[in-house]
A = this chain, B = another copy of it.
Amino acid sequence: MASVNPPRGMRDFLPAEKARRERVLAVIRDRYRAHGFDEIETPVMEEYSRLHAGIGGDNEKLAYNVLKRGLDADAIRAAADDPAALTDLGLRYDLTVPLARFYASHRAELPAVFRAIQVAPVWRAERPQKGRYRQFMQADIDIMGDASPRAEAELIVATLDAVDALGLEGATVRINDRRVLDWMLDSFGFTPEERPSVLITIDKLDKIGPDGVIRELGERGATPHAVDEFYGFLHRPPLLEYDPYGERPIRSVLPEGAPDDVVSDLVAIGDAVSAARAGDLRIPLAFDPFLVRGMGYYTGTIFELAHPSVDYSLGGGGRYDGMIGRFLGQDVPAVGFSIGFERLVDLIGQSDENHERAVVLVHDRDVPLEELLALKAELTREGLRVRLDQRTKNLKALLERAAADGYTSFATVAGGTARGDLQIKQLA
């Protein structure tokens, strides 16, 4: 007999946890809508070829693939050396590939600058481990059709607003630009060919520290004089917080000669986010010249949502101007910010304020059913949430259970009790 547990790495949500998750999602959706974003939905499945076109990076290997319907023995045997022939669909592993497909399909029906919300599950067949699930929620916002830094500024301000509304204090958005990274590595003397492998090493900076990075670059055989140049730079203070009352000398943390257009975009984004958060003592935005982000499709700005209490990111994103073109045959600028909902919801803990008026009607066994249902109907019409519980010997346990389930009051019902007789009492 099959297990009664959910499949490995996946979770059931009981009422209290489900309600808490929905409350958090409602806050995120509400703030994103306030900032002019619109929610869309795509099917959980996409065509296999779409999911395995090289855009999804390492996630492509983790995709759940769906068996073709109606395969016969010959077709299966013929697929022995080509398992992809067994499948035509897969479950999405992110919300970016489906969004690009959606946009290419519906562009004519969408505004010129389209601000999308997607709050939906994705699936990855990862090795299960603490805090990592095979089905998990992502909350993404993306702006398509705006090549200007206005898009980045809107994404960052909306994300910070959602984080604030959830009561998470002390979060910071780190920002960098792939073009800064590329230029920097060029200027140190790394070759274009070794750039991807050098970036993979730099991405580990938070985990292995500056000396670890230098050691690994040496072991990988990176150009020695470039590693030396990089060494000197790596020991400067890397994070530059935007300071609303002072200067924002982004150039001061970069090697000399950084490209003007990229630096001025980063300054403009910082100024705009600072202006939107006028009055804050601390602008929760920091320039981090070592921020890499794993995905290969980023073409410009990249960002990450960080919090001092955890050493992993709570979300991230960036500009991917090239991707839509692969679907549409015509380039469309695009930039997105994805919140890692599962990590966030764990971090904000039990912000469990339940303001519902909810009453348990504890009724004797012999109360006629029609009296019970009439009473319940009257109370729901008054705007209450109502549960019927037949009285048990241990009334105290029954009421404790009701309180744990979120009920705030109770009343006892005997035969003949009318609405006017009902004594509604607060639950402890």
Contact = CB atoms under 8 A, between A and B. Distances in A.
Taken together, the copies of this chain in the complex come to 2
Interface stretch (A166-174, A216-224, A250-258, A364-372): A364-372
Interface string A312-356: 000000000000000110000000000000000000000000000
Interface string A387-412: 11110100000000100010000000
A235 interface: no
Interface in A197-221: none
26 contacts: A2-B50, A3-B47, A4-B327, A6-B46, A6-B105, A7-B43, A10-B43, A13-B40, A19-B38, A34-B383, A35-B386, A38-B405, A64-B66, A67-B86, A113-B390, A115-B387, A149-B369, A150-B372, A150-B373, A153-B373, A154-B373, A268-B370, A275-B370, A275-B374, A276-B374, A276-B377
A18 interface: yes
Nearest to A327: B4
A392 B112 CA distance: 11
A268 B368 CA distance: 9
B272 A111 contact: no
A157 interface: yes
Interface stretch (A70-78, A226-234, A420-428): A70-78
A162 to B, nearest CB: 11
B86 A86 contact: yes
Interface in A74-111: 74, 76-77, 79-81, 83, 86-87, 89, 91, 101-102, 104-106, 109-111
Nearest to A148: B369
B7 A47 contact: yes
B79 A36 contact: no
Interface string A1-45: 011111100111111001101100000000001111011111111
